[in-house]
Chain A
Amino acid sequence: MESLVPLPVVVPLIAAAVLAAGARWLRRGVDDAIALATAAATSVISTMLVVRSLDHDLVYWFGGWTPRHGLAIGIAFDVEPLAASLAALAAVLATASFVYGWRYFDEVGTLYHVLMLTFLAAMSGFVLSGDLFNMFVFFELMTVCAFALIGYQVHSTAPLQGAINFAVTNVIASFFVVTGLALVYGRTGALNLDQIGRVLSGEGTDGLVVVAFALLLGGFLVKAGAVPFHFWLSDAYAVAPVPVCVLLSAVMSDLGLHAIGRIYWPAFSGVFSGDVDALRALFVGIGVLTMLVGGAMAFFQRDLKRLLAFVTISQVGVFLCGIGLFTARGLAGTTLYVLADGFVKAALFLAVGILVYRLGDGDELRLRGRGRNAPVAAVVFFGGAFLVAGVPPFGSFEGWSLLVRSADDVGYGWLPAVLALGSVLTGGTLLRAAARVFLGWGDEADPLLSAEPPPSEEEPDVSSSRISPPLLFGPALALLLVGAALSFTPQLSGEATRWAQRFQDRPAHAAEVLAGRLPPVSAAPPTGTGFAPYGFGIASTVLAVGFAAFGLYRRRLPALVRRGTARLLDPPIAVLKGLHSGIIGDYVAWLTFGVAALGGVVALIAR
């Protein structure tokens, strides 16, 4: 049973090696089939891991190096349902993306499949690792694969720029992670997360622990794309090939957040146990800022992929708030939100891909009204936009209800209203784009949107056929439906809360991992939601429609109103856009500033 555990990493890696070795002899189509079968098998294995770990974690020690007398020397994979479900999400999306890529690319080369499979293995390994150093190794592997995939279309400048900005910031992030883990190892002599937690919880905080925690936190926040570490994300996702964007946007960003939970609860929750309130304020602060910056920047985009990239950033902010509530409901709600939202975002990216494939363009203004004869893309895009806006009771609604309840539990009753604002901004912007592209509504020009991207040289490798085949719209529709229907899984929120409680109970978790002592199976806590989540969902949907109308017909407002708001808002908008300069030196400066600030704040908190 436990021998399943390493398979989500091993299977794609072996397939990738086979494909790489046989690249010269494989005909086009064979590599697609092998890659697709591998990703599908990985989805099945990861889903089985979720089912198997429902009551107890599956802990797998590589090479049989089990802990002796509670001391871990070996390397472990620690499978709990929340992590395994993220691994399953990654594998399912990889499967969908291989199906889609079959027709999307004309000529892509076996190397693409090799990179995608390695990327999948890295993501699975990253979420399942129970060991700080392995997390770092998989973190780096994700970076290398994603770097090559983002810059895969080397014929044009934009992907190269996006890839460089991605690689440099993420390499520095992994440098922060490795420095942080070196300090932790120097202090505790352990790399296993639960072992670290055991050593640290017996002692007070000191400078070393604070610096190490801030470095690890900063490193993972870069991967997640939280403000001010988010700059690379919009550059990279805007230029990566659509099937790659699916994995990047819907999974990789969220893995960064998951990693924060994964290091915090087993390793650091003991030593920071007295500072939870202050840490909560810090996380929620960063989260709200990220949500607002992402939402606002999304509104100023006309390139649909870049728009979706900023939507991703905005949602990362919401998730950061959810994890940062430091409650079981918050963690469970965030994970459910991430899952549903991952499917929806993936479907949205695939819909944009259909537009690029059929019409050779991904620019909102140039596409105005031209989407009329792409009905499937229209359905997916409108559906996805409404789901992002938070229409109850679909999609992320279960997660959302848990977040609302959790915020109430810890006295942050105002937070759901603020987070709903994020859904208004992102959902409204997506609805605006959908209405402009598919219905031809709104003005032909909008000076507020960022400069016109160069005429479409961005996807030179796509097929020239102009009918969208089922292999393209099939995955998009399927992902949208799965995402929308996820909230109807019976008992989901109660079960997820139970898993989160199990994960957050540090002593019990450590006993389970290090000594193999299985904790008793607890019952799922009650999950009555009340009317509040519905209220927020309906309000955010209605306001999102209003915001979309504002985006479309803003210039028909009375001149007086327009001039007044322009005078008030133009300077901050110019500053905000100017910050996203596309220059790597600026981004690294922000990154350094962010980590230094984090360190300062954590030091103040832990004093």
Chain B
Amino acid sequence: MSYLPYALAVWLFVVGLYGVVTSRHLIHLTVCLMVMQSSSYVLLLSIGYVDRGTAPIFADVPKGTRAVDPVVQALTLTDVVVSVAVAALLLAVAMQVRRRHGSADPEQLSAVKG
């Protein structure tokens, strides 16, 4: 098992985080958040990976076939669904901000502070 998936997860996390912190546009920010989230998919899947394992569908295969861990795949699916919901809501709010405020730059959006 190589370390590549873990390195990829860390990389996605760091780039996404950098994007979120420095973002000047709400849609860009949402996409960066999604990039960050995908790091957790990579991490989850690589934790459940088994060398030369097949998909965890146990029909028509001999007993004792190596298969990858189905639990983390279920977790990843749930994670994807959840983050899609969040992304949809964030994009909707971004549209509304642009319409109300005339700008989608989070730094100009300072109705509350101090």
Contact = CB atoms under 8 A, between A and B. Distances in A.
Nearest to B30: A168
A191 interface: yes
Given A151-B93, A164-B90, A585 B20 contact: yes
A412 to B, nearest CB: 34
Interface in A575-596: 577-578, 580-585, 588-589, 592
A175 B37 CA distance: 6
Nearest to B9: A179
B97 A157 contact: yes
Contact of A175 (B36, B96, B97, B113): B36
Interface residues of A, number: 53
A168 B33 contact: yes
Interface band, chain B: 35 or more
Given A161-B112, A582-B111, A175 B82 contact: no
B95 to A, nearest CB: 10
A155 B90 CA distance: 16
B75 interface: yes
Interface string B89-114: 11001101100110000110111111
B89 A148 contact: yes
B41 to A, nearest CB: 9
B17 interface: yes
Contacts of A147: 86, 89
Contact of A158 (B75, B79, B112): B112
Contact of B40 (A157, A182, A234): A182
Contacts of B67: none
B96 A592 contact: no
Contacts of A454: 111
Contacts of A154: 93, 96, 100
B72 interface: yes
A387 interface: no
B78 interface: yes
A154 B99 CA distance: 10
Contacts of B75: 133, 178, 182, 185
Nearest to A582: B113
Given A137-B82, A168-B29, A185-B72, A161 B110 contact: yes
B90 to A, nearest CB: 6
Interface in B42-58: 43-44, 47
Contact of B86 (A144, A158, A585): A144
B36 A235 contact: no
A306 B43 CA distance: 38
Nearest to A592: B17
Interface in B21-76: 21-23, 26, 29, 33, 36-37, 39-40, 43-44, 47, 71-72, 75
A365 to B, nearest CB: 14
A160 interface: yes
Contacts of A160: 93, 96-97, 100-101, 109
Quick one: which of B20, B22, B36, B39 has the most chain A CB within 10 A? Answer: B20
Contacts of A577: 114
Quick one: which of A133, A144, A160, A589 has the most chain B CB within 10 A? Answer: A160
Contacts of B4: none
If over half of B's interface residues share one DSSP class (helix, strand or loop), that class is named, otherwise mixed; here it is: helix
B90 A185 contact: no
A490 to B, nearest CB: 44
A455 to B, nearest CB: 12
Nearest to B109: A161
A164 B89 CA distance: 10
Contact of A585 (B23, B36, B40, B83): B23
Interface string A114-151: 00000000000000000001000100110110011001
Given A160-B100, A585-B20, A144 B82 contact: yes
Contacts of A238: 112
A300 B113 CA distance: 11
A71 interface: no
Contacts of A417: none
Contact of A161 (B22, B36, B40, B111): B111
Quick one: which of B20, B94, B111, B113 has the most chain A CB within 10 A? Answer: B111
A6 interface: no
Contact of A144 (B33, B47, B71, B89): B89
Quick one: which of A147, A156, A234, A588 has the most chain B CB within 10 A? Answer: A588
Contact of A167 (B37, B90, B113): B90
Interface string A227-247: 000000011001100000000
A172 interface: yes
Contacts of B100: 154-157, 160
A265 B28 CA distance: 40
A491 interface: no
A186 interface: yes
A581 B83 CA distance: 26
Given A144-B86, A583-B106, A583-B107, A450 B47 contact: no
Given A158-B111, A164-B93, 8 more contacts: A144-B89, A148-B89, A156-B111, A161-B110, A171-B33, A172-B33, A300-B114, A588-B17
* The 3 A-B residue pairs with the shortest CB-CB distance in the complex, in nearest-first order: A582-B113, A450-B114, A158-B111
18 contacts: A147-B89, A155-B100, A158-B112, A164-B94, A167-B93, A168-B29, A171-B33, A178-B40, A182-B40, A185-B75, A300-B114, A306-B112, A453-B111, A582-B111, A585-B21, A585-B22, A585-B23, A585-B106
